A and B are shown apart, each in its own frame.
Chain A
Amino acid sequence: MYLNDFEYFAPKTCGEILDLVGRLGTKAKILAGGTDLLIMMKEKMLKPDYLIDINDVQELKGISYEPGKGAVIGTATKISEIEHSDLIREKYFALSQAAGELGSAQVRAMATLGGNSCHASPAAETPPPLVALGAKVVVKSIAGEKELPLEEFILGNRKTTLAEGEILTKFLLPEPAPRSASRYSYIGLRDAMEIDAVNMAVNLALEDDGRTVKSLRMVMGSVSPVPLIAVEAQGILIGQVFNQELMEKAAQAASVEANPISDIRASAEYRREMVAVLARRLLQQAFNAASGTKEGNW
């Protein structure tokens, strides 16, 4: 359970970080909350020679918001800050819910939003809502910076597009559409400290009539190596008046689109079924919230 020997850096600015990652390359690892990294090091899955602690870098932390433009969340923002942010709760409810479900209070106090996406676990809590909310990430290196949708950033189980010398700096969340609502939920054995068997986020916007689905993002986690966008399911509802029958069809379609495996937490069959359950519940909740009807008939 011991860590290998490493050299530790605690830069104060983003520039210093980029210098360090540029110089040290793959021998270095970014240390954010450490809640994934240190475990992998203790289990000898990783033996970096250098750790670059980004917790002292103010420009990578915090949540800001500009009406009409959306929110910017620094990569090193703690999950607990997101969980307790009124702004996130009001504008990006699915993310607020997911943040509240990650690990335990202790883990949320340490873990960062960027760490959750960079670790790229298929069961991770926040990537599905972020993708559903249309989040983009900003990736930076000495050479410059680029923006890309989160679903393009995460490539597979513990795989991202991050190349040598690059770091993730922030998440850009667009202003939510009018008459829209987002919801998140997961299936797991316990109500805390649970690696999700399945999770899902739904972001649904209605036309002015309050009944027709204008846009929809349905993203499922833990049923594929990457956050999986339920394209078929979305297609069934977009442009249609929301109703139970279509909702059921969409739920079934999502279940077919899912590509789960069997492991210690659940069988593939159970996961597939749960995709439909989550889809039904989240679509209904999001529709109710977006249309202003009273919440919850489950």
Chain B
Amino acid sequence: MNKPNYTQVGRSVPRIDGPLKVKGEAIYTDDMVLPRMAYGKIKRSPYAHAIIKKIDYSKALELPGVIAVITGEDGPNKWGIVPQTANEVALAVGKVRFWGEGVAAVAAIDEETAEAALDLIEVEYEPLPVLLDPQESMQRANEVRIHEDAPENILHAGEQLFGDPDKAFAECTYVLEKEFHTSYVNHAFLEPHTALASFDTPSGQLQMWSSTQVPHYLHRQLSIVLEMPMNKIRVTLPAIGGAFGGKGEASPADFCAALLSRKIGRPVKVTYERSEVFATNKGRHPCHMKMKIGLDQDGYIQAIDFDNTLDGGAYAGWGIVVMFYTASMIHLPYKVPNARARVRRVYTNKPTCGAMRGLGGVQPRYAMECMLDEMAEMVGISPYELKMKNAVESGYLSVSNLHVPHTEYKKCLQTAVEKSGYLEKHGKLPFGKGIGLAGGYYISGTAYTLYQAYKPHTTVLIRVDTEGGVTVHCAAADIGQGCNTVMAQMAAEELGIRYEDVHVVSGDTETGTFDLGSFASRLTYASGVAIKDAAAQINQKLKEVAAGMVGCRADQLEIKDGRFYSKFEPKKAIEWEKVVDVYTNAVGTLVGIGHFSPPRLKGIDLTRGKRVQGANIGHSPTFGFSCQIWEVDVDLETGKIRVAKVTEAGDCGQAVNPMSVDGQVEGSIMFAMGQALYEEMRLDAEGKMINASLHDYKVPTAMELPEIDTTIVDSYDPTAPFGVKESGEGPVQPTIPAITNAVYDAIGVRFTDLPITPEKVLRALKEKQALNSECSGS
């Protein structure tokens, strides 16, 4: 591990966006008010499944202050993040498929009038049977069909086979098979979706401001729905108040604002209420999983069989991608020589599921880490030992051809175990107190775009001149995760200057160069490659000028701390600014442009050398790893679980900004703890959501925040720019199984569905008691 001596990378600098946010000066989309701006509101369906027989909005148009009303017919082109399965429309056409689906939108002179107008829109529905459970949806597909082109109510199903799991299971000493069910959760970001569209009629240009994490994909979808060339549309991101995957697709707010603006020739803003955020959801898929794991007599994993039914809700969204991710996630972070996955993503009449922090990983990780905990007991060793035995090492190639260039996973396990005293406590604490361990990993980017394309995934342009200093341009989306800050740090490192002297222009498809978006924990790695590429060009040009000023050859120069100097005679030096000054006077503004294209890795069954359907999904240039150990106290009378402490150790490669990494880890822990213990979207029998507010949808509060001890383990991936990996999604992976394993250690009950509520705990305790007294009685 020959890790360079960095000065800007590895610094815990405050966020670029921090001061404005702390002072309340950051401008979010909903803060914006343009001259002549109108306000848009969306009329939503009270039915989860119904034919729209008639929409009459004449009364709404008569209300003073109402400017226009649109319905599905005004923009019927289908959109979707995955082009092969695009099946959403801006507003429902002919039929609604979930409670809260938009059926019409109003533009009015103020929000109050727009809201009043919604009540004047008359919609005649013919209710259809509502399917809320994926099993029922498949069974009743003959009788009730959610989409015409999906006769079985299945978006897509896939089977992946690697090696010979059946043969391997037959030879295993230990085999365990279990079912797990995960809950229906939403991201609960602070800022609801909001979009402001300004269409200029004479020039035919559309300016969009939107709270999105995928400006590029929004750009593409707008072009499809509005039938406008992309070069006539500009997408700009004001400050974004969190996204976590929930803004990883366009939203009807975007389309309605744009369609209304084009119709009336005035700017239109649409900002969701919290209930609309829940209604349009795109949160985590509830998964109904069967998993079978086989170990040999020494505890080495020989085979995994995974069956997953994903409850997708009403539309496709990210569905097919999430589905294949769940299949790919069984191949790491342990060595699995034989595997089979059978997966299907089913339509139901619920607000659609989509991408959510740790997409596709959280559900299978829950099953696998809980099962390995149980299997360690079967083998008679500690879960730590079992996981250490099976953990992957640097250079590992999975049977599905996933390549792990570098990992410190074992170091994560060791560190967390040592710091928490896991081995001394596990299995030895008094009844009611428990400690649980789980590991996990996540991708640092993907190998492919969502549509067929060979173009680079990220382009960075660095501009240097005497006026602006250094400006990094990239249309990346800083949604609060801090990519602007780390891009500035990496650019400063490579240029040999200070982070404080770098400006970042991002989140704009016109002033920023191309980027795919903030998802798949891709940006630090991707922008890092592009920044290195762009900076090298700048350094080369400046060195040629500096060489003459210093009096040595350009290739003998180093740049550090804002100075060019000869590596043989460091006293021969010149200030960076002076070189820029000379260069600019002679040539003008200097630019360097760098690109990132990930390696095009293929999903292959290595034992047969055959391509496997859907197995390209899950490949990444590198992977982050982590381990969490949770200590819980279970109140045996109320069933309430109190978290005493969390010990975490993570391999995020080289941390560009350790303070930011800690923030990501702590945030991840709270985020996933919500799904484990508190959060759940609840629907009534008709599919209406009954807790569509942050009062009734229970996100953990600061009061639930446990003591958290995080360690960034020493790591450097030599194949990665600056040695980086990811830290935004990996740390959510171990949380749920670690809590579940801790609860098992406390009370001897293994929970296989979520959330683990006090009521469930108490019921389980009683059942256990009844069983015990039955056993002792007989």
> Does A264 lie within 8 Å of B690, measured CB to CB?
yes
Residues of chain B contacted by A1 (CB below 8 angstroms): 115, 273
> Does B762 lie within 8 Å of A191, measured CB to CB?
no
Residues of chain B contacted by A31 (CB below 8 angstroms): none
> Does A264 lie within 8 Å of B691, measured CB to CB?
yes
Residues of chain B contacted by A273 (CB below 8 angstroms): 762
A273 to B759 alpha-carbon distance, docked (Å): 10
> Does B762 lie within 8 Å of A190, measured CB to CB?
no
Number of residues from A at the complex interface, CB < 8 A: 17
Instruction: Identify which of residues 426-469 in chain B touch chain A, using a CB-to-CB cut-off of 8 Å.
Output: none
Beta-carbon contacts of A267-278 to B below 8 Å, as 1s and 0s? 100100110010
Closest CB in chain A relative to B760 CB, distance in Å: 10
> Does B698 lie within 8 Å of A189, measured CB to CB?
yes
A46 lies within 8 A of chain B by Cβ: no
A195 lies within 8 A of chain B by Cβ: yes
A104 to B695 alpha-carbon distance, docked (Å): 11
A219 to B211 alpha-carbon distance, docked (Å): 48
A1 to B110 alpha-carbon distance, docked (Å): 13
Known contacts: A1-B273, A2-B115. The answer to whether A192 contacts B702 by CB under 8 A is yes
> Does A2 lie within 8 Å of B112, measured CB to CB?
yes
> Does A191 lie within 8 Å of B759, measured CB to CB?
no
Closest to B678 in A: A189
A274 to B700 alpha-carbon distance, docked (Å): 22
B773 lies within 8 A of chain A by Cβ: no
A63 lies within 8 A of chain B by Cβ: no
> Does B678 lie within 8 Å of A277, measured CB to CB?
no
A222 to B704 alpha-carbon distance, docked (Å): 23
Closest CB in chain A relative to B755 CB, distance in Å: 9
Residues of chain A contacted by B273 (CB below 8 angstroms): 1
> Does B758 lie within 8 Å of A189, measured CB to CB?
yes
> Does A192 lie within 8 Å of B115, measured CB to CB?
no
Main secondary structure of the interface of A (DSSP, over half): loop
Residues of chain B contacted by A277 (CB below 8 angstroms): 637-638
A110 lies within 8 A of chain B by Cβ: no
Q: Which of B116, B757, B762 contacts A189 (CB 8 A)?
A: B757
Residues of chain A contacted by B678 (CB below 8 angstroms): 189-190
> Does B696 lie within 8 Å of A264, measured CB to CB?
yes
Q: Which of B115, B695, B762 contacts A193 (CB 8 A)?
A: B695
A266 lies within 8 A of chain B by Cβ: yes
B142 lies within 8 A of chain A by Cβ: no
Known contacts: A264-B690, A266-B759, A273-B762. The answer to whether A187 contacts B703 by CB under 8 A is no
Beta-carbon contacts of B683-703 to A below 8 Å, as 1s and 0s? 000000011000110101111
> Does B638 lie within 8 Å of A192, measured CB to CB?
no
Number of residues from B at the complex interface, CB < 8 A: 25
Closest to A270 in B: B759
> Does A274 lie within 8 Å of B638, measured CB to CB?
yes
Closest CB in chain A relative to B695 CB, distance in Å: 7
Residues of chain A contacted by B74 (CB below 8 angstroms): none
Residues of chain B contacted by A104 (CB below 8 angstroms): 701
> Does A264 lie within 8 Å of B698, measured CB to CB?
no
Closest to B680 in A: A264
Residues of chain B contacted by A195 (CB below 8 angstroms): 695-696
Residues of chain A contacted by B637 (CB below 8 angstroms): 277
Q: Which of A2, A192, A267 contacts B759 (CB 8 A)?
A: A267
A189 to B760 alpha-carbon distance, docked (Å): 12
Closest CB in chain B relative to A260 CB, distance in Å: 13
In this complex, the member of A104, A187, A195 whose beta carbon has the largest number of chain B beta carbons within 10 angstroms is: A187
Residues of chain A contacted by B753 (CB below 8 angstroms): none
Closest CB in chain A relative to B310 CB, distance in Å: 25
A2 to B113 alpha-carbon distance, docked (Å): 10
> Does A2 lie within 8 Å of B701, measured CB to CB?
no
Residues of chain B contacted by A267 (CB below 8 angstroms): 759
A191 to B701 alpha-carbon distance, docked (Å): 8
Residues of chain B contacted by A266 (CB below 8 angstroms): 759
B156 lies within 8 A of chain A by Cβ: no
> Does B759 lie within 8 Å of A190, measured CB to CB?
no
Beta-carbon contacts of A254-269 to B below 8 Å, as 1s and 0s? 0000000000101100
A1 to B41 alpha-carbon distance, docked (Å): 12
Closest CB in chain B relative to A157 CB, distance in Å: 17
Instruction: Identify which of residues 155-191 in chain A touch chain B, using a CB-to-CB cut-off of 8 Å.
Output: 187, 189-191
> Does B758 lie within 8 Å of A193, measured CB to CB?
no
> Does B638 lie within 8 Å of A187, measured CB to CB?
yes
A1 to B274 alpha-carbon distance, docked (Å): 11
Closest to B636 in A: A277
Beta-carbon contacts of B482-504 to A below 8 Å, as 1s and 0s? 00000000000000000000000
A165 to B696 alpha-carbon distance, docked (Å): 35
> Does A190 lie within 8 Å of B698, measured CB to CB?
yes
Beta-carbon contacts of B620-645 to A below 8 Å, as 1s and 0s? 00000000000000000110100000
A104 to B638 alpha-carbon distance, docked (Å): 23
Known contacts: A1-B273, A274-B638, A277-B638. The answer to whether A193 contacts B701 by CB under 8 A is yes
> Does A191 lie within 8 Å of B703, measured CB to CB?
yes
B374 lies within 8 A of chain A by Cβ: no
Beta-carbon contacts of B708-726 to A below 8 Å, as 1s and 0s? 0000000000000000000
Q: Which of A2, A189, A264, A274 contacts B682 (CB 8 A)?
A: A264
In this complex, the member of A104, A193, A266 whose beta carbon has the largest number of chain B beta carbons within 10 angstroms is: A193
Residues of chain A contacted by B695 (CB below 8 angstroms): 193, 195
Residues of chain A contacted by B690 (CB below 8 angstroms): 264
A190 to B678 alpha-carbon distance, docked (Å): 8
> Does B701 lie within 8 Å of A270, measured CB to CB?
no
Residues of chain A contacted by B700 (CB below 8 angstroms): 190
Residues of chain A contacted by B638 (CB below 8 angstroms): 187, 274, 277
Residues of chain B contacted by A270 (CB below 8 angstroms): 758-759, 762
> Does B701 lie within 8 Å of A192, measured CB to CB?
yes
Residues of chain A contacted by B682 (CB below 8 angstroms): 264
Known contacts: A192-B702, A264-B682. The answer to whether A2 contacts B111 by CB under 8 A is yes
The 5 closest A-B pairs by CB, nearest first: A191-B703, A192-B703, A192-B701, A2-B112, A277-B637
A-B contact pairs, 28 of them (CB 8 A): A1-B273, A2-B112, A2-B116, A104-B701, A187-B638, A187-B640, A187-B758, A189-B698, A189-B757, A189-B758, A190-B698, A190-B701, A190-B703, A191-B703, A191-B704, A192-B702, A193-B695, A193-B701, A264-B690, A264-B691, A264-B696, A266-B759, A270-B758, A270-B759, A270-B762, A274-B638, A277-B637, A277-B638
Given contacts A189-B677, A189-B678, 19 further A-B contacts (CB under 8 A): A1-B115, A104-B701, A187-B638, A187-B640, A189-B758, A190-B698, A190-B700, A190-B701, A191-B701, A191-B703, A191-B704, A193-B695, A193-B701, A195-B695, A264-B682, A264-B690, A270-B759, A273-B762, A277-B638
